[in-house]
Every structure is written in structure tokens, then in C-alpha cells.
């Protein structure tokens, strides 16, 4: 990935974030309210229980690159809410998400092609086999302070939320073996409420080296969504993985 490609998303996000802040006067939100049906759902407070199916594809680095796929299923619980406003009417809140999943072993594609040898030369030793990540349970926990930066009511009510915190995940590692690691977490979320019953929640998140995009739609609390996760997309020397998840859940 070129430097420009890495820089462009950052600049675009910064410009959108800056514009939404700059265009909002300090005390512009005194009278606004959240849509009635979203109260207690994904409005001021939220609780989401969902089950998720995940399919992953990636490229392992080592003695020759090998593509693989993997499937997993997980259950998630997300809870959070805003509990006060600051001077700029920014909503201040907290959000917690825990996930417990089970992943199958990697299914590898074609083996690396054998090295070319000249007639009469000894055949080189075969490449060391990949250490397959063990199939097994894994868990992930995120906690973040959330800031409802800007919200509006006209035409299409909505809100922009910034989240900052950290998380911990434990289970099979991408490079083999098992273990756990902590990470910092930063996310931005655009929420739209086309009607009292309908909510749309788009989230872009980043941790060190990985990115996550999530789209959730809810109708009277019933929720469908999709999530894509990109691990090490800018590192050609590390195992790279793309995950796609389908989400079914209930907000209350």
C-alpha cells in the first residue's frame, strides 16, 4: 500500500470529523431529543445481544506464502450508554463489548510450488510445514469512552460518536499457538434514524495494525448487520487476514 493510500483515509476522516465539529456552534443542542423508539435501544442507552458467523481469508507468510480460509461463530454482548453532557453538549458515555467465539482450523489452498532444481542436483529439503492455529475458543473484550460529538434532528435525525479505549483478546494466534494481547481502540460511528422504528449504525474502528467496518440496521430492536475486519492490511511481511461477519441480534 503506497504512502498516499495510507494517508488519504486518515485525511478524509480528519476532514469529516473536523467539519462536523466546526459547523456545530458550542451550544447548538439544547433542545434536541433522541427518537422516542430509540430510547433504551441504541439511543441514550444500548444493549445488543447477537450471534455472528464469520468467514476469514488470509495469507500466511513464511517459507512461501500460502492462502487459507477459516470459519468461526461467536456470540456477542454490547452494553453502553451516555450519562452526561459536557460544556459543548457532547454526550459522554461508556461502552463495553464482550465476545466469545469458536473457530475452526485453517483450510489451506495450494501448497507452495517446489523450488526448481537442475538435473543431477540434490533435491532441496521440503519447506517447514506451517504451524496451524489450533481450532478452539477465543474471546475478545473492548471498553471505550464514547463521545456523542454532534447530533441533529432535521430531515434525517442522526448523531456522530467518537470512541476511545482499549481491548483484550485471547485465543489462537494468527501466527500459530495461543495467547492473548491488549490493544488500543479508536472508533467513529455515524447513527441515523430514518423513522422512530428504524435505526442505522455505521462504525469504523481501528486498533494498531487492523481496521474494522460495521454496519447495523435495526427495526424495532431486531438487528441485522455485517462487519469486515482487515488485519495487517499494510504489512506485506506479516500474515494478513480479511474477515467478514454476518450479525443477527436484538437491541433492547
Scanning 2-10, 112-120, 172-180, 200-208 for contacts with other proteins by CB under 8 A, the matching segment is 2-10
**How many C-beta atoms surround the C-beta of residue 104 within 10 A?**
14
Q: Are 133 and 176 in contact (CB under 8 A)?
A: yes
Does 3 bind other proteins (CB under 8 A)? Our answer is yes
Cell numbers found for residue 35: 427518537
The binder of other proteins chosen from 1, 9, 10, 101 (CB under 8 A): 10
Dist CA 199 CA 223 (whole Å): 9
Scanning 17-25, 43-51, 192-200, 207-215 for contacts with other proteins by CB under 8 A, the matching segment is 17-25
Scanning 3-11, 101-109, 118-126, 235-243 for contacts with other proteins by CB under 8 A, the matching segment is 3-11
- Phi/psi for 21 (5° steps) reads -70, -45
For other proteins (CB under 8 A), the number of binding residues is 24
Does 152 bind other proteins (CB under 8 A)? Our answer is no
Does 92 bind other proteins (CB under 8 A)? Our answer is yes
Place of cell 462536523: 20
Cell numbers found for residue 13: 476522516
Does 182 bind other proteins (CB under 8 A)? Our answer is no
Cell numbers found for residue 116: 526448481
The binder of other proteins chosen from 24, 41, 48, 66 (CB under 8 A): 24
The binder of other proteins chosen from 45, 59, 88, 153 (CB under 8 A): 88
Burial degree of 34 (CB within 10 A; 0-12, 13-18, 19+):
buried
Beta strands of the chain (E only): which ranges? 45-60, 66-85, 91-103, 107-108, 136-152, 158-172, 178-192, 198-207, 210-219, 222-231, 240-251
Cell numbers found for residue 124: 532441496
The binder of other proteins chosen from 28, 47, 75, 202 (CB under 8 A): 28
The binder of other proteins chosen from 149, 216, 247, 251 (CB under 8 A): 149
CB closer to other proteins out of 35 and 148: 148
CB closer to other proteins out of 32 and 196: 32
Radius of gyration over every alpha carbon of the chain, rounded to an integer in angstroms: 22
* 3-state DSSP assignment of residue 165: strand
The binder of other proteins chosen from 9, 12, 13, 14 (CB under 8 A): 14
Dist CA 247 CA 76 (whole Å): 10
Scanning 99-107, 110-118, 145-153, 170-178 for contacts with other proteins by CB under 8 A, the matching segment is 145-153
Which residues bind to other proteins, rule: CB under 8 A?
A: 3, 6-7, 10-11, 14, 18, 21-22, 24-28, 84, 86-88, 90, 92, 145, 147, 149, 162
Amino acid at each position: 500500500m503506497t504512502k498516499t493510500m495510507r494517508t488519504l483515509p486518515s485525511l478524509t476522516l480528519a476532514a469529516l470529523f473536523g467539519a462536523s465539529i466546526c459547523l456545530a456552534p458550542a451550544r447548538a443542542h439544547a433542545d434536541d431529543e433522541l427518537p422516542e423508539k430509540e430510547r433504551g435501544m441504541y439511543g441514550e442507552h444500548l444493549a445488543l445481544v447477537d450471534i455472528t458467523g464469520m468467514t476469514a481469508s488470509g495469507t500466511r507468510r513464511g517459507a512461501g506464502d500460502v492462502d487459507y480460509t477459516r470459519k468461526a461463530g461467536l456470540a456477542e454482548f454490547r452494553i453502553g450508554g451516555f450519562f452526561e453532557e459536557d460544556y459543548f453538549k457532547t454526550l459522554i458515555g461508556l461502552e463495553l463489548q464482550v465476545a466469545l467465539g469458536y473457530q475452526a482450523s485453517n483450510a489451506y489452498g495450494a501448497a507452495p510450488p517446489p523450488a526448481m532444481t537442475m538435473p543431477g542436483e540434490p533435491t532441496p529439503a521440503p519447506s517447514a510445514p506451517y504451524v496451524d492455529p489450533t481450532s478452539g475458543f477465543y474471546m475478545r473484550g473492548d471498553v471505550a469512552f464514547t463521545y456523542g460529538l454532534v447530533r441533529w434532528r432535521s430531515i434525517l435525525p442522526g448523531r456522530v460518536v467518537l470512541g476511545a479505549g482499549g481491548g483484550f483478546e485471547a485465543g489462537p494466534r494468527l501466527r500459530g499457538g495461543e495467547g492473548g494481547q491488549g490493544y488500543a481502540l479508536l472508533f467513529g460511528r455515524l447513527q441515523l434514524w430514518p423513522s422512530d422504528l428504524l435505526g442505522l449504525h455505521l462504525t469504523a474502528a481501528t486498533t494498531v495494525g487492523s481496521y474494522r467496518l460495521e454496519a447495523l440496521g435495526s427495526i424495532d430492536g431486531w438487528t441485522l448487520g455485517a462487519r469486515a475486519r482487515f488485519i495487517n492490511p499494510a504489512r506485506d511481511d506479516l500474515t494478513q487476514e480479511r474477515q467478514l461477519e454476518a450479525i443477527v441480534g436484538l437491541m433492547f
